[in-house]
Structure 1
Amino acid sequence: MKFLLYSLNHYPELTGIGKYNGEMVSTLVEMSTDVSVLCAPPYYPEWKIKREYASFGYVTETSDDAVVYRCPLYVPSNVTTLKRLLHLFSFSVSSGLRLFSLFKLKPDLVFLVQPTFFCAPATLLYCKLTGAKSVMHIQDYELDAMLGLGMGGGKIANFLKKVESWIMSKFDLVSTISYSMIDNARTKGVPDSKLLLFPNWADVSFVTPDTAYESFKERLGLEPADKVILYAGNMGKKQGLEIVLDAAESFKERPDLKFLMVGAGAHAEVLKGLAKQKQLTNMLFLPLQAWDDVPAMLAMADIHLVIQKKGAADAVLPSKLTNILAAGGQSIITAELCTELGQLAEKFPGIYDLIEPESAPALVEAINKQLANEETGHNLVARSYAEENLDRNKIIDRFLHDVQAKLSF
């Protein structure tokens, strides 16, 4: 099969969609799939294009035996709603022009990752002209996330929803990463015959509970007896990470308790400024860590945090959770019961502690509860779930089989 991945994000981004795309491509190549990639230069989560890609132009390179076509885009230093829309639109224009120069590729399948939905019309036209089959893979419902955070409403929102439903119905298949997101696609009018589950994964053989972390902890300047509460991932507005700072302030009298914030994002500098104002000497900010250090970082944490605002958890299943589960982490998740995260907590009791979003008191209570838990150590429920459901090769192989069966390749 000749496979064209069309996505805003790709390797060497170390987190989020770019990470999953890079791992998917390398696995597909290992499975003897002919893969090409149409994407932007790496910029996420720092919201700054990496230095080696800084020139504003088109770049063609080879990575993991896949040809990668990089397209320029606008990356705002200060992300606002309008600037984010311009950012997404700029990629749709530049990548759309590049897409229509690639007729000679003649792919069997074009795999468009949402975000960005702006690229959907060009994808459908390209597939019609080349005879390729089309798959829209939804990592994040852009419109739902926007409306969930109060951006837009009324007649405009209803019109956009109709456009979204119409475009989604034109794809040969629509895949997404969770059962609740499958249900969402169904409510948008996508028939069951076109729906596929394609969940995110973890490297369960690389990220394990037994990874030695002592030297990594020492390198960070932490004491062996320190308890580490870890948030690792994107630091954007939709996370609502201010409650972590409020929780850290509540534990100022616990010198052995350290809040570790690892990552980058559009809201990172704001959070650092707030932490400085609150004089949080028990909070440490670090950039994204090298992938080789991730297993040690995850194994080191006594408590993991997955923080989101209300509404955002309905639209997005956080990618950071898969590796936390693989590491057998004890974790606290902010989400409502009706979300995918809530359903998973009910189906697998003990996999993590689910608490009310946007509530610093609830977070403090959950941290105290986990610190008081005498059954310390690995979360066996989390690790068992990861081994059975999050193995990368199994997930990608099953997805390819399902696509070929539905599209008669």
Structure 2
Amino acid sequence: MSETQRQALPAGPLAPAHEAPPQPHARASGAGRMKLLLYGINFAPELTGIGKYTGEMAQWLAAQGHDVRVVTAPPYYPAWSVWPGYRAGRYGREQWQGVQVMRCPLWVPAKPTGLRRLLHLGAFALTSLPMLLAQWRWKPDVVWMVAPAFACAPGALALARMSGAAAWLHIQDYEVDAAFELGLLKGDRLRRVACAAERWLLQRFDRVSTISARMLERARDKGVDPARLRALPNWVDVSAVRPLTEPSRYRAELGIAQTDVVALYSGNMGAKQGLEVLSGLAERLQDRTDIHFVYCGEGAARAALVQACAALPNVRFLDLQPLERLPDLLGLADIHLLPQKADAADLVMPSKLTGMLSSGRPVVAGARPETELGHVVAQCGLLAIPQDADSFAAAVRTLAAAPDLRRELGLRARTIAEETLARDSVLHRLEADLHACMAAPRGRD
């Protein structure tokens, strides 16, 4: 978890890179009611990552009076195991928060290597296709698909064309680029073929949105018409996640003194996070009895991290915590830790950053200054060399010794969250863009 006084800040890279001109809302049925089909492998009740955001979006749109359906898989993330109460091998339907959810069979690898991840995503694209195409009778106004899994894009486009719907692709992660940059896929010829297929599909969606300005630039580089691009950053409920006015209850539960400094990592523990640096960081600061490291989350890389930290008395591990405890968990931090592999630093904007900023605490992030993540964190924390434990340790030492600096950077973090990432503001803009997308001419064949 998956998580003030205002100070004037310059317009940062989190600001929308493209704003559509104001347009009158289209009318689907009733007073602007839309029929929206959301399609993606991750959905609620997953508590972290893409499933969290797609679930919150579906719930919010349904609460506005729209008719929302979802084609998805059973929850399995971040533990890579289908949750109790769900079945991996069968289709199912349920009602959730006013949303009709259709779940499709899913193969979940116990050890998600690069090839197995691709097979996992491809399997969902196949098993979900019958359920997806059956929705043509319902005639959705917009087919909204989230990537990953990009293998689902042909099916989403086919349904949109069959039903006369607008086709919207939302990119949380450039999975094709990431697969090659992280070495999960290799070979120049394979990369050319994969990128050509991705480019062809991207250009056929009526709208393409993504979560950061740099990722929008990448979509333009892949040939998407700028007029079709929209910024849709991951958001945070700033009314729920806010700076604590009293010490976090986790301090007492973990036996950490109020005067000591807590450096917290909370989120998915997967391959792209570069978590190896966290054990090295704690090892370099194990002589500092006033600095404690708390690592919270689940994922494929957790077991290796636990083993690497086994002999370190300054490290505590927490399992994924209940959603209602998220504000208290994020408020435990005096310093948030955001490791990131250098090769992935501008392919994704980490979703966990939103909660960190909203909690009003400074961030130490592994990012190059020229990246978008680097630009954001430079306003509200310190940058470290990606995957360099010495650099992370130096940044943590600096902040641990400077409570006034931590307070100032925390205020800036909260301001960024309030001004650019507030949930209702982001989703109201999305709602208006969905209406405009319905009214616009349809995409290319």
- Aligned match of 2:17: none
Which residue does the alignment assign to 2:195? 161
Distance in 1 between the 2:264 and 2:306 partners? 15
Q: How does 1:70-109 map to 2 (within 5 A)?
A: 70-109=103-142
AA paired with 2:417? A
Pairwise CA distance, 1:37: 0.6
Is residue 2:391 matched to residue 1:358? no
Match of 2:263 in 1: 229
Q: Which amino acid aligns with 1:360?
A: A
The Cα of 1:344 is off from its aligned counterpart by 2.6
Residues 374 and 229 (structure 1), Cα distance of their counterparts in 2 relative to 1, 3 Å cut: closer
TM-score by length of 1: 0.96
Please state if 1:310 is matched with 2:328.
no
Contact 1:213 1:297 in 2 (8 A): no
Tell me the equivalent position of 2:42.
Answer: 9
Deviation per residue, 1:370-393 (Å, 9 max, x gap): 112141436111111111111111
Q: Quote the residue 1:218 is aligned against.
A: 252
1: CA distance between counterparts of 2:305 and 2:231? Answer: 35
Output the CA distance in 2 between the equivalents of 1:113 and 1:253. 45
Amino acid at match of 2:57: M
Q: Distance in 1 between matches of 2:173 and 2:357?
A: 21
- Aligned residue in 1 for 2:167: 134
1:56 aligned onto 2:56: no
Structure 1: 5+ residue runs without aligned partners? none
Q: Which residue of 2 aligns with 1:400?
A: 431
1:120 aligns with 2:153: yes
Code of the aligned partner of 1:310: A
Counterpart residue type for residue 415 of structure 2 = S
CA separation in 2, counterparts of 1:55 and 1:248? Answer: 38
**Equivalent of residue 303 in structure 2, options 257, 261, 269:** 269
Check if 1:152 corresponds to 2:193.
no
For 2:332, the aligned partner's letter is M
How is 1:274-285 mapped onto 2 (pairs within 5 angstroms)?
274-276=308-310, 279-285=311-317
Q: Deviations 1:161-191 (Å, cap 9, x if unpaired)? A: 1110001101111010110000000000001
Contact kept, 8 Å, 2:88 with 2:106, in 1: the verdict is: no
Equivalent residue letter for 2:434: V
Which AA in structure 2 matches 1:314? D
- Separation in 2, partners of 1:130, 1:54: 30
Q: What is the alpha-carbon distance in structure 2 between the residues aligned to residue 28 and residue 212 of structure 1?
A: 34
8 Å Cα contact 1:211-1:296 kept in structure 2: no
Q: How big is the shift at 1:54?
A: 3.2
1:405 offset after TM fit, Å? 2.3
- Whether 2:222 is the aligned partner of 1:191: answer no
Q: Offset at 1:237? A: 1.7
Q: Does 1:333 align with 2:362?
A: no
Post-superposition CA distance 1:225-273 (Å, at most 9, x none): 3321100011112211111100101111122321111000011111112
Amino acid at match of 1:399: L
Q: Determine if the alignment matches structure 1 residue 201 to structure 2 residue 235.
A: yes
Root mean square deviation of aligned Cα: 1.4
Give the one of 303, 324, 342 matched to 2:356.
Answer: 324
Contact 1:310 1:358 in 2 (8 A): yes
Greater relative CO, 1 or 2 (CA 8 Å, sep 6+): 2
- For 1:297, the equivalent position in structure 2 comes to 329
Whether the aligned pair in 2 keeps the contact of 1:246 and 1:360 (CA below 8 Å) is: yes
Return the alpha-carbon distance in structure 2 between the equivalents of residues 248 and 216 of structure 1: 19
| 1:220 Cα deviation after fit | 2.8
Q: TM-score, normalised by structure 2?
A: 0.88
Report if aligned partners of 1:212, 1:299 keep a CA contact under 8 Å in 2. no
Matched, 1:175 2:206: no
Task: After the TM superposition, list the runs of 4 or more consecutive aligned residues in structure 1 that deviate by more than 6 angstroms.
Answer: none
Q: Alpha carbons of 1:116 and 1:363: their partners in 2 closer, same or farther (altered >3 Å)?
A: same
Partner residue of 1:38 out of 40, 52, 71: 71
Q: By how many angstroms is 1:211 displaced?
A: 4.8
Do the aligned partners of 2:142 and 2:438 also contact (CA within 8 Å) in 1? no
Q: Is the 1:209–1:299 contact (alpha carbons within 8 Å) kept by the matching residues of 2? A: yes
- Structure 2 unaligned spans of 5+: 1-33, 441-445
Q: Distance in 2 between the 1:224 and 1:339 partners?
A: 35
Partners of 1:212 and 1:296 within 8 A in 2: no
Q: SS at 1:210's partner residue? A: coil
Q: Distance in 1 between matches of 2:204 and 2:301?
A: 36
Distance 2:298 2:288 in 1: 26
